[in-house]
Amino acid sequence: MKLHGTNYDKRRKLTEQDKEEIRSSAGKGISQSQLAIDYGVCRSSIHYILHPDKLKKHRAKQNKYKKKYYNTKKNTIAIKESRRRRKEIEELQNLLTLSQLNKKALNSKP
């Protein structure tokens, strides 16, 4: 699959020289949207180049919600136990419905 030059290409697209040009252009009054179009990146990329402190805050906020690593063996055991309990409950429910059906059948006989 070809990624280069497509929307799926997540590699770095701007050089340090490009970033310096973006900073100087923004200082001259060119809008972030126009800079994004000129350099072929999204507006938020331009925003984070101009405000690197906000990028650090954004990344810190995102890392806060990342999934924590867990003990896979404990997790596997817990999943198996949960499935076993669920199966037991289903079997009990099936037995209860069968017994209820038998009672109805016995009560309906003349």
Rounded distance between C-alpha atoms, residue 103 and residue 2, angstroms: 67
Specify if 23 maps to a domain: yes
Rounded distance between C-alpha atoms, residue 80 and residue 82, angstroms: 5
Distances from the Cα of 96 to the Cα of 86, 92, 102, 108, angstroms: 15, 6, 10, 18
pLDDT category at 109 given cuts 50, 70, 90 is low
Q: Is the pLDDT of residue 52 over 80?
A: yes
Q: In 1-110, which residue ranges form alpha helices assigned H by DSSP?
A: 16-27, 32-39, 43-50, 52-64, 72-108
Domain that holds residue 82: 63-110
Same domain, yes or no, for 87 and 108? yes
Reduce the DSSP state of residue 38 to 3 states and report it.
helix
Q: Model pTM greater than 0.85?
A: no
The answer to whether residues 32 and 45 touch, using CB atoms and an 8 Å cutoff, is no
pLDDT category at 1 given cuts 50, 70, 90 is very low
Specify if 89 maps to a domain: yes
- What domain count does the chain have? 2
Higher pLDDT, 73 or 69: 73
pLDDT, one tens digit per residue, over 86-106 is 999 999 888 888 888 777 777
